[in-house]
Amino acid sequence: MQVTQQVMQLAAEGGIGGITDGIKPDWAVFGAIGTKAKIIVGVVMAGAVLFLLGSAIVGAVHIRVGNQQHNSMETKKGQTMVGSSLIGLFAVASMSTLFGIVYGFGI
């Protein structure tokens, strides 16, 4: 209920920037890097996410084909692909947080 009220308030204020600013990563100590570097990092992360999503889809196809053909090896291959892709997606999505924590430990 409270989240809905916050979204409604952001929408009433106008502009998509109020909603998308909460989605952008907080660069924290890495905020001093240039705009071009942030764009390059974002593009690389987006490319990795798209690759991993594609890999998860291919894994799901392997599972489907393996089940239809009663081929347990194909099904296991698909399960491994989907699992590793989802773990990779989690790692890429939390990359800025992980770097911030490691940098904080170094100080």
Q: What's the full length of the chain, in residues? A: 107
C-alpha dihedral, 13 to 16 to 22 to 24, nearest 10°: -160
On whether the CB atoms of residues 95 and 45 are closer than 8 A, the answer is yes
pTM value is: 0.62
Q: Which two tokens stand for residue 2?
A: 């409270």
Instruction: Using pLDDT thresholds of 50, 70 and 90, give the confidence band for residue 64.
Output: very high
Is 1's pLDDT higher than 60? Answer: no
So what's the pLDDT on residue 31? Answer: 67
Kindly report, residue by residue over 7-62, the tens digit of the pLDDT. 566 566 655 555 555 555 666 666 667 777 777 877 888 888 889 999 999 999 99
Q: Which two tokens stand for residue 49?
A: 């996410």
Is 76's pLDDT higher than 80? Answer: yes
